[in-house]
Structure 1
Amino acid sequence: MVEFDRWSDIHQDLFNEITKRFYSYDNYIQLRLVCKQWNLKLPKIPDGNKVPWLVLSTGSAAKESLEEEVRASEDEGILDARSLEEKGIYHLMLPDMQDNIMCGSYHGWLIIVMVYEGTVRILNPFTKVHLDLPSVSTLPNVININGDECTLGYKGLIITEKTIFVHQEQIWKAIINSAPTNDSDSDFTAVIIYGLLLELAFYMPKDKRWIRFPTRDLVDVHDVIFFEEKIFAVNCHGQLYEFDTRTKSGPVGGKHEATPPPSNVGMLNCYYYLIGGDNGSLLMLVKGARYRYYMKNQKRFCECETVKFDIYELRKNEKTWSRIQSLGNYILVIGLNSSVKILPNNFLNCKGNQIYFTYDMHDMREVCFEIENITPRSQIGVFDLEDGSFQTFLTDVDFFGRPIWILPEYRFLSS
């Protein structure tokens, strides 16, 4: 009994040092459950392991191949990312995600479409707290849902699709301007990229439905962010749009005066990302990618292979994008998450001047809509700007959904 008391009174600084060496959240939970005192001393979310986690949606077959690649514990069946420590990538496995669609993340929260209900949900995967946004049925292009069928409108065309398909494919990316502070907090604004035309819609506190952005020519949106009380979006041509969020009726604005940056990707496919920078500046990241088709186990696959990145900066109050060659000590984390620029001081085995990326919605969209009977494959990796090298990971794993970065709370330049 005396020995137990001594363990329960372990000093907080020692606790902090222990948790910095935990890479598996499941193991961290086990530590909190040792005794009541430890449960009180340790927060629900470890604050010593400030790293980008990769959330994966897999089925049983994919989970087996994933566990084999990262050498998960055979005894416990828990995915342990310590074998990927040297690569700087950490994994969080969530159960029952195969049938739902992850479409965004911000400050440790996931944004998920619950496919069977059509609910758009904000979920904290660590605490399991969740809040609901307006459903897919309230999108501006949804005319009517009648049981298993849904009627959609696209620029005068009326299209009927299966309701389940609409729930799966309508929302491509979602962002929020601030993380909920408690179980019932809905005092935030959300923006989504939705529909076949990749348009923008927004939600404001207490709204019951998604509202279309006022700029009708804004289609084929590649990325959208909140930055300095504004919303910035970029389309397929690299054209920037800017909207003020301080109006009660919703975002107001339109096309930015800055002309798109030059395209240096040649014959490659271009994908654009926006990231908040220092002193009010914006970064535009241009990804050059090409499609690679192959057969495996009598199935046709297509992988959107990332080949290069170019980075441009638009300084505050300027109208011209300038190309930059280095991020210095910073890293960029892009994908379906709210794209961010962060310092990797607290990362283990992670250096600056790198880009962490996953495949994005455009890879999935173009393959799904243009080619039949083919399975899109994910690409997850790190690009080093210093030497131009790529590292890709989990290349043999077939994901049922979209891998997504989730970043626990730390200082974001784009928030």
Structure 2
Amino acid sequence: MRVLLVHQAFVSPGQGGGTRHYEMACRLVKRGYDFTVVASDTNYLDGIRKEGSKGLVSKETIDGINVLRAYTIPTYHRSFVWRVVSFLSFMVTSVLAGLSAGKADLVIGTTPPIFQAVSAWILSVIRRCPFLLEVRDLWPEFAVNMGVLKNPVLIWMARQLESFLYARASHILVNSPAYQDYLLSKGIKAEKISVIPNGVDPEMFNSSMDTRDIRKELNLENKFIATYAGALGMANDIDTILHAASMTDAPEIHYLIVGDGKERPRLQQLAKELNLTNLTFTGGVAKQEMSAYLTASNVCLATLQDIPMFKTVYPNKVFDYMAAGRPVILGIDGVIREVLESANGGVFIHPGKPEELRKAVMAMAVDPQISESMGKSGQDYVTLHFNRDNHAEDLHKLLNKVSRKAA
């Protein structure tokens, strides 16, 4: 089967960011799929254009996956308006790139950003093949809840576009069970929706690896390390971690922020203002190096803003933490809390509460045996219930089902 995926932020293990689509595509390629991805030539975390990119479309092959890098105006980190400009530029160039890919039996559009899903729909119409819409975040609801999108006219237009895509999709795929409930409330029929959650490739993590070198490199040989690993965006509420660090007076505890994003300069300035000597920013780290950072940590942190819609999310970083065998301090309520508590893989704290976070870190440091037990329990749970091998099998069945139905 020839599959075309339009995904502006597609990354491989050699880059920072989530690798869900890379991991799925690799497994489908091994099954004989011809898998092509139309992606941006600009990294969404740091805004830097990929080396070697030329013209409107650059071609490369990554582990059997055909990747077409479409030119994108590099303004993602300037402001909300300029971010939309960047999205719109990719919406146009991704269609041109997709047309250069040749025939397709099925086109996948993934959102957010929602504009790239429009590109995928256009390509499916031109190629006269099914359009599978993957919903990874509930846009525009998240933007409205966060106060990023305030204009009533723009909100109305965004919701009309959302409904337009739902109606025209041959099938809708979501990565959280709560998203399915949201779509049902929008009047989408249950048989049109499938759930393939976020998860992990267990082989990408080694919880028993020797991390003395990385601890030495970070100058944290004898520290209890509490790590946040992921994007540094507005939604991620890294401020709570910084304020928890400012309240922590135990010299053996050190906070590590691994990742990059639009908010990094502001957060580094805040850390300077708080005079934090117990917190380090590493910058962006490739996914293939992430295992070492997580294994070197004693506990991992996951935070999001205290917004009702965030109760619906399955953040991939939580599954990565658990796969690495590390206990999780979870500042996110909702469906991901249910996963963590079912796994006995860590502790929940209320979102946006730095004092709760500080106390949870201290408790983990005081009782390392319980921490290690939680880490092992979480690792066993995600390996069994959220294994990417099983998810790829489910996606293979879904793609064939959608293709046969269209035929």
Q: State the TM-score, normalized to the length of structure 2.
A: 0.26
Question: TM-score normalized by structure 1?
Answer: 0.26
Q: Which has the higher helix share?
A: 2
